[in-house]
Chain A
Amino acid sequence: NAGVTQTPKFQVLKTGQSMTLQCAQDMNHEYMSWYRQDPGMGLRLIHYSVGAGITDQGEVPNGYNVSRSTTEDFPLRLLSAAPSQTSVYFCASSYSEQGILNYGYTFGSGTRLTVV
């Protein structure tokens, strides 16, 4: 099925551990992004990418790294997990027209991360 696939769906980490959240899309979208959503809140942008080899920081980038080696994949790495990173993480992708996001995002189903 076409869309955005996130793995894993659930994860529990101990403080200090590292891990990678995977995101893949098969729609040939140039634009991909990672958001976190905390209970009762909206989404906050962590990192985004406008194409393979190009990434940039969002509102809350600290503690996270990204890379974009292919158009399809945009993994998010937690370097040293902290309880404050307990959240639901969403990956999203979109076409863009000359850098303008004139199409809606397609979201993945999310990864629920708990850091203990």
Chain B
Amino acid sequence: SQQGEEDPQALSIQEGENATMNCSYKTSINNLQWYRQNSGRGLVHLILIRSNEREKHSGRLRVTLDTSKKSSSLLITASRAADTASYFCATDAKRAAGNKLTFGGGTRVLVKP
């Protein structure tokens, strides 16, 4: 089973609106990361938030992390057509040995012009 699960699975918004997607995970983590994947391409790293951080910003992206609820959210403000992509959260879970990055199923975002 996957460590991270995104919600919603799909999201359709108008250009200029904000897009919010959520990620829930199951075990204690070192950090949580968000990635974007354009159709047919590899994933691109967007932002990493460590377990001792609660909020992080990068340009139009805002990520929050609530370790008590084991959840994170990604907010894209003032969306553009170029933001159309799938977004994945990934967790680096705490383990005794051998860290692994585990991905969720993704949120497909469509930004309509």
Residues of A within 8 A of B (CB): 33, 35, 41-45, 48, 50, 56, 58-59, 90, 92, 94, 96, 99-110
Contacts and interface: CB of A to CB of B under 8 A. Distances in A.
Most buried by B among A103, A104, A107: A104
B103 A42 contact: yes
B50 A110 contact: no
Interface residues of B, number: 26
Contacts, number: 70
Interface of B: 2, 30-31, 33, 35, 41-46, 48, 50, 88, 90, 92, 97-106
B45 A100 contact: no
A101 B105 contact: no
A1 B22 CA distance: 34
B33 A104 contact: yes
A116 B33 CA distance: 35
Given A94-B101, A100-B30, A105-B33, 19 more contacts: A35-B103, A41-B105, A42-B103, A42-B105, A45-B102, A48-B98, A50-B98, A90-B42, A90-B43, A96-B99, A99-B98, A100-B31, A101-B101, A102-B50, A104-B35, A104-B46, A105-B43, A108-B42, A109-B42
